[in-house]
Amino acid sequence: MNYYGNYVTKLIEELSRLPGIGGKTAQRLAFYILNMPKENAEQLAKSIIEAKENVKYCSICCNLTDEDPCSVCRNPKRNHNLIMVVEEPRDMAAYEKTKEFNGLYHVLHGAISPMKDITAEDLRIKELLARLNENTEEVILATGTSIEGETTAMYLCRLIKPLGIKVSRIANGVPVGSDLEYVDEVTLSRALEGRREM
């Protein structure tokens, strides 16, 4: 039933199409937008349109960017012979925030998932393989620890190792500040496997 009129109902419907936004959240967001000053609502709409029109994939790493190549791939101070493979642009941003990695990235835009009907062909794997050359020293597989992430890492390892390039996997372990009694067995065993000398 249309309680709020056509425009509000349409706004709620469009917002509820966003991932992770249910009906109640969409309704709350719609009312928030309607109560914003008109200039703020126009700026929000303008930002969405500008992002849609100007954001593209970097021709090297497949990250989202408004300049091609992106600022990371253009940076001459980075190690261009070291590539970290991540699932999503937000994963790359998380690693960048640590300021610990000085190589380049490759964004797959997902992980292999038969349950979701996502195959290797749906990911940016061809672009990754095209980047690899005799100068590539190492590919770090930083896909998630889910079954999909592990499957994707194993698949990539089988493709890259025969090229004579070192392939490594990020260590997974115990989160800082957690009690060991609450950590699952798989995480504990991976933490033990990924241990390093002090």
Query: Which tokens sit at 135?
Result: 């100068």
Phi then psi for residue 144, to 5 deg, are -65, 170
What does the pLDDT read at residue 198?
52
Select the CATH number that applies to the domain covering 64-193 from these four: 3.40.1360.10, 3.90.180.10, 3.40.50.10280, 2.40.50.100: 3.40.1360.10
Question: In 3D, which of 80, 87, 58 has the Cα closest to residue 155?
Answer: 87
6-54 to CATH, choices 1.10.8.420, 3.30.70.1520, 3.30.200.20, 3.40.1670.10: 1.10.8.420
121-145 average pLDDT score: 95
Whole-angstrom Cα distance, residue 89 to residue 106?
A: 9
Q: Is the pLDDT of residue 195 over 80?
A: no
Question: What pLDDT band is residue 11 in, cutting at 50, 70 and 90?
Answer: very high
- What residue spans define the domains of the chain? 6-54, 64-193
This model's pTM is above 0.85: no
